[in-house]
Amino acid sequence: MPVSYAMNSDVIILEQSRTVADAITAMKDNLVRSILVSDRGEQIIGLVSKTDVLFKVVAIHKSPAKIMIKEVMSAPVISIPPEMSIADALSVMEKHIIRQLVVTTSNSVLGIVSRDGIMTKMEKAAMETMNAATTTSSLCILNPFASTQLKDKKAMLICPHCQTEYADKDVLSKHMQSTHS
């Protein structure tokens, strides 16, 4: 699955001379966990996350209103294309010990993908699949006549049509083809 599936396209970009207090306000107002930092020429030069604020400002008792975001930003920013697979993006994050990647095409920022965002999307997809399987909606997961079950613990296979027991899968398969097709 491509990272574009899990990326957050609500990207906030602040100029490097803005304060950490501005970054915190932008994150809070836009419900995001990080902001991108630009230079005066509008080029992305860094990223400030909630973790950066916590460890580089709050933990050392500095005032967010007195510190510029360029002082606490993580740089350089690693960017990836939107068609990169989620597995490859997670590998990049693991290799560089980071939690977020910027998703870009050419010189355009499309969004940010994070480990948390990926896990949230995957969890949501799994829950939707489980919910679909347990509701009355028509979702074919397994054709019961194309499978068989073991009877008790005897390792006997049961024909799903006539309930006849077979010790061998090939014999059961031939029986099903000749009798029930």
Q: Would residue 48 count as lying in a domain? A: yes
- Please tell me whether residues 70 and 154 are part of one structural domain: no
Residues 53 and 96 in one domain: yes
* 50 and 18 belong to one structural domain: yes
Structure tokens at 25: 């306000």
28 assigned to some structural domain: yes
Are residues 112 and 53 part of one domain?
yes
pLDDT at 171 over 90: no
What's the confidence (pLDDT) of residue 143? 47
The whole-number pLDDT of residue 136 equals 54
> For residue 172, is it within any domain?
yes
Q: Answer yes or no: is 26 within a domain.
A: yes
Question: Does residue 130 belong to any structural domain of this protein?
Answer: no
pLDDT surpassing 80 at residue 41: no
- 23: tokens are 């970054």
Structure tokens at 113: 């993908």
Convert the pLDDT of each residue in 138-169 to its tens digit. 554 544 555 544 545 456 777 777 888 887 77
CA-derived radius of gyration, the chain:
27
Residue 113 placed within a domain: yes
Indicate if 18 and 78 belong to the same structural domain.
Answer: yes
In terms of C-beta density within 10 A (0-12 exposed, 13-18 middle, 19 or more buried), how is residue 103 classed?
buried
Question: Six-digit token pair at 65?
Answer: 């209103």
- pLDDT, residue 137, reads 52
Q: How many domains does the chain fold into? A: 2
Closest by Cα among 15, 18, 12, 13 to 68:
18
Which residue among 122, 152, 167 closes a domain? 122
Say if 129 falls within a structural domain. Answer: no
Question: Under a CB-based contact definition with an 8 Å cutoff, are residues 41 and 93 in contact?
Answer: no
Tell me what percent of the residues of the chain surpass a pLDDT of 90: 56
The DSSP call for residue 140 is -
CATH number at residue 36: 3.10.580.10
State which residues form the domain around 153. 144-180
H or E stretch at 110:
strand 108-114
Looking at per-residue confidence, does 133 or 112 come out higher? 112
Cα–Cα dist 81/36, whole Å: 17
- Evaluate if residue 121 carries a pLDDT over 50: yes
pLDDT tens, position by position, 55-111: 999 999 999 999 999 999 998 899 999 999 999 999 999 999 999 999 999 878 999
Backbone angles phi, psi at 156, to 5 degrees: -90, 135
Q: Does the residue 50 lie in any domain?
A: yes
148 and 65 housed in the same domain: no
β-strands 150-151, 156-158: how paired? antiparallel
| Mean of the per-residue pLDDT values of the chain | 85
